[in-house]
Each structure stands twice: as C-alpha cells, then as structure tokens.
Amino acid sequence: MPELAEVEFFRRQWDCGLGKQIVAVQLHVRKRIFRGSDPRVMARRLTGQRFLRSHARGKQMFLEFSGGNWIGIHLGMSGRMRTEAAGFRAEKHDHVVLQQARRALVFSDARLFGRVRFHHGKTEPAWWRTGGPEIGSEQFDRKFLDSFLDRHARAPIKAVVLLQAGFSGIGNWMADEILWRAKIAPSIPAGRLFSAQRAGLFRETRFVARESLRIISPNFDDPPRNWLIHQKWKRAGICPRHGSPLRKEIIGGRTTAWCARCQK
DNA sequence: GCTATTGTTTCTGG
DNA sequence: ACCAGAAACAATAG
C-alpha cells in the first residue's frame, strides 16, 4: 500500500501522541521487522520517554523521542500505523505498541516486509541521512534527473522511476501514473528519452507527488476520477483519456499498466 | 488449491 | 566498480 502520500498519511496517525510520555512498550520481539536493531533495548530505552516529533522522507519515517532515542519506520508492503484506546492488547500483526496515558500508538505489518529501526545517541543515525532528494525540493531538478536517467540508461524507464535513489517515495502505482501523464511507454530504456520527454517526466513526477500528498495524506481521500490509479488494478481497465483498453505486463519486476495508444 | 499483491535486499552475471 | 535482472523474504485476499 504505502508510497509517498500513504506514508505521510500513516505518519500523521501518531500525531495525537506528540509531546506525551510512553508509559509502556510492547513488541513482538522475534519478528523480522526489527532486523538490524535490538527490540529489547528499544523497549527499555523508550519506556518513560516523550514522543517529540516525526518526519517522513520518501517512504522512510523518522520519529524522535526524548533522551536521544530515535525510531526509523519503513512500512514495506503492508505496514500500517494507527491509534487504539489506552491499554490496547496487541493482536497477531501488531508488532509495536507504544502505550501512552490516553491512547496506544500501534504499528502493524502482516507481510513483515516493513522495518523498524532503533537508534540511541546525541545525533541522528547514519541511516536517516541516506536516500535520494525529495521530489519537491530544489535538489530534484532537471540536471539531477538527466544524470540519473543517463546512469540507468539501459534499464526500462518504469524500473528507473521505481529506484528510490532518484525517485524518492515513488512506488508502483505512482510510477504508472507519472508515465501515463507524461505519455511515455514504460519499457523504453531511460537513456533513449528525448529532451521533451524528460521535461514531461520531470513535470509529471512533481505533479503526481504534490497532488497525491495534498489529496491523500490528510484523510486517505481518493485521487480524482480521471487518474490512472482507478483503472490500473481492474481486470479490464481503460485509459482515462480515451477509453482504450490498458495493457499489462511485468516491467522492472512489477505489474505495469499503460495505454499503448498515448504512451510512446 | 491457484493467483496476485502500492517494497526492498541480495545474489549473479555482465 | 557499477549496472540490470531475478529470486528471496512472508502473509493474505480473491
């Protein structure tokens, strides 16, 4: 589920706990979402600390607690965040429960592709300083995009738009949406895009990222009816522009839907 | 049963 | 050293 806008939506689900103390921590300690960190240390350190702030960058989330304690969350394929009433008892897939006086902050993940990392220290952990530039930022400009495309010149553009080092926060549905809007066929090698196509790719990447954040992250509202996302999962999806049947194929290792009539 | 799944990491071959 | 592609990870929904 989670790409840029959904990640931001889930991050906000814990905002009602900001500034409040964590009175108890319950973790499913043996689950692989904790790979690379020690969940027992995490539980011990966080207990009694206050939840100070959180940020999202692409699909990564970063939560800061008092006492120099930090959590990084990646939602993977099926990660979710929500709140429950104080004293909530974790169910099967609720791997992290941070109990506060008035509520419980819950992270759940059925498929376990997600990841929860813990860091204790005065400064931000190295893993928070990695990753590509945010799509709305000045660093994500035509020059950056051009060099990224040239670096991956032989890969199909669909695969390149999924690379987080260049297209931070873009996932499968946003990639198809962007290529459809830019009228670029997903299997074209990135290095073969003309200048005008690159300009379109840049423009539509920024548009889809900005609009998805604006529309989806506050309340998980649906994008407009004329977006490709409403068609791409259907068995017989059609191009929102002119109703041609969409084609589907595995490109870049992922199911890809596109309109052969308008994407060249 | 079978298929599919909005994501990364790791390995292999070039 | 870098890149591209496939497999692996795991659980559920239809």
Sequence ranges of the domains in chain A: 4-128, 142-258
- At residue A205, the pLDDT reads 98
Distance CA A147 to C1' B5 in A: 32
CA(A160)–C1'(C2) in Å?
15
Residue A24's φ and ψ, nearest 5 degrees, are -160, 150
Residue A233 binned pLDDT confidence (cut-offs 50, 70, 90): confident
- pLDDT confidence bin for A83, thresholds 50/70/90: very high
pLDDT(A1) > 80: no
pLDDT value of residue A200: 98
Strand C lies under 7 A from the Cβ of residue A253: yes
Share of chain A above pLDDT 70, in %: 100
CA dihedral A56, A94, A163, A200 (to 10 degrees): -60
Whether nucleic acid strand C comes within 7 Å of the CB of A92, the answer is yes
A32: Cβ under 7 Å from strand C?
yes
Between A1 and A166, the more confident residue is A166
When pLDDT is cut at 50, 70 and 90, the band that residue A65 belongs to is: very high
3-state secondary structure of A145: helix
* CA to C1' distance (Å), from A101 to C8: 41
List Cα–Cα distances, A220 to A6, A114, A155, A194, in angstroms: 7, 20, 33, 35
| CA–C1' nearest nucleotide, residue A58 | B7
Q: Which CATH class is domain A4-128?
A: alpha beta
- Contact criterion met (CB below 8 Å) for A52 and A65: yes
Tell whether the model's pLDDT for residue A125 goes beyond 80: yes
- Say whether pLDDT at A241 is over 90: yes
Q: For A142-258, CATH number?
A: 1.10.8.50
**Helices of type H across A47-190:** 142-151, 157-161, 172-182
A142: pLDDT strictly greater than 80: yes
Average pLDDT over residues A236-262: 95
Question: Is A168 in contact with A161 (CB distance < 8 Å)?
Answer: no
8-state DSSP, A221: P
Model confidence at A64: pLDDT above 90 = yes
Quick check: do A4-128 and A142-258 share a fold?
Answer: no
Q: Quick count: other Cβ atoms within 10 Å of Cβ A193?
A: 22
Contacts of strand B, CB cut-off 7 Å? A 1-3, 6, 58-59, 74, 76-77, 111, 113, 162, 164, 171-173, 233, 253-255
Q: Are A28 and A62 in contact (CB under 8 A)?
A: no
| Average pLDDT for chain A | 96
pLDDT mean over A1-17:
94
CA of A144 to C1' of C1 (A): 21
The residue-averaged pLDDT of A225-232 equals 94
Mean pLDDT, rounded, for A98-123: 96
Contact A99, A23 (CB under 8 A): yes
H-type alpha helices, chain A: 4-12, 39-46, 142-151, 157-161, 172-182, 195-219, 229-232
Q: So what's the pLDDT on residue A106? A: 98
CA of A165 to C1' of B11 (A): 20
Of the listed ranges A37-51, A121-135, A249-263, the least confidently predicted one is A121-135
> What is the tens place of the pLDDT at every residue in A172-215?
999 999 999 999 999 999 999 999 999 999 999 999 999 999 99
- Supply the DSSP string of A15-52, one letter for each residue: GGGTT-B--EEEE-TTSGGGTTS-HHHHHHHHTT-BEE
